[in-house]
Chains A and B, each alone.
Chain A
Amino acid sequence: DAKTTQPTSMDCAEGRAANLPCNHSTISGNEYVYWYRQIHSQGPQYIIHGLKNNETNEMASLIITEDRKSSTLILPHATLRDTAVYYCIVRVAYAGNMLTFGGGTRLMVKP
C-alpha cells in the first residue's frame, strides 16, 4: 500500500470548515483513498473513501487532485465533537486484508 503524509496537528475554529490535507504521491491507479477518524477511547470511525472522483456524504467531502497524488478531507462546519485524530489511508481493494494506519492528523476544534 502507498505511504501517506499528513500534518501532525491542526486547529480549527468551531463552525468553520476544517480542511485536512494528505499527500500520497506514490499512489497506484488501483488504490483507493480512505479517511477514518479516532475519537479518544473509541474505535476508528469510517468517514469517506474515493478512487479519483470527488465524493461527498453526510459527514464530509473528499477532494482528490487530478493526478491523485494528494487529497483533502473537508468537514464543512466543524464542531467540538469533531476533535479527533484523522487518518488518511490508501489501499488496493483486492489485495490487502488490512489497513495500515499512520500517525494521522490530530484535529483540535476550538470554541
Chain B
Amino acid sequence: GAGVSQSPSNKVTEKGKDVELRCDPISGHTALYWYRQSLGQGLEFLIYFQGNSAPDKSGLPSDRFSAERTGGSVSTLTIQRTQQEDSAVYLCASSPRGQGSNSPLHFGNGTRLTVT
C-alpha cells in the first residue's frame, strides 16, 4: 500500500523566506511525527500529533517553526523567516497508534531544505 508521502522532495529557498512542507501520512494512522536530520547527524524530534489531542511541540527549535494537521490527516510544517541553520532533511512519520503503544513509525523520504 501507499507509504508516507512528503512534498516537495527538495526545496531551495533564500534566507528570510517562509517555506511550507507537506506530509501525507498512511491512511488510518492516527499518530504523525515531524523530525529533522542534518547532514550526517541523527534524527531530531520536532512535533507530534495524536488524533484530536493537543500536539506535543516540545521539539520545535524556535517560534519560527509551526505545524498543523488538518482533519487528522495531512500535516504542514511551516518555517518562517528561514535561516541557513534550518537547512536539513525534514522527515515525517506516521503510526497506527501513538503514545501508549509499541507501534513502529513509518517514515517518508523527507524534504531536503536548503537555505541560501
Residues of A within 8 A of B (CB): 32, 34, 41-46, 49, 51, 93-95, 97-104
Contacts and interface: CB of A to CB of B under 8 A. Distances in A.
Contacts of A103: 42
Given A44-B107, A49-B102, A97 B33 contact: yes
Interface of B: 4, 33, 35, 42-43, 45, 48, 50, 56, 59, 91, 93, 98-102, 104-110
B45 A44 contact: no
Q: Is the interface of A mostly helix, strand, loop or mixed?
A: loop
Contact of A94 (B4, B43, B91, B100): B100
**For A97, A103, A104, which residue has the most chain B Cβ atoms within 10 angstroms?**
A97
A46 B102 contact: no
Contacts of B45: 97-100
A98 B45 CA distance: 6
A103 B91 CA distance: 17
Contact of B107 (A32, A41, A43): A43
Given A43-B107, A43-B109, A45-B107, A93 B43 contact: no
B104 A41 contact: no
14 contacts: A34-B104, A41-B109, A42-B109, A43-B109, A43-B110, A45-B107, A46-B104, A46-B105, A93-B101, A94-B100, A95-B99, A97-B33, A97-B56, A101-B43
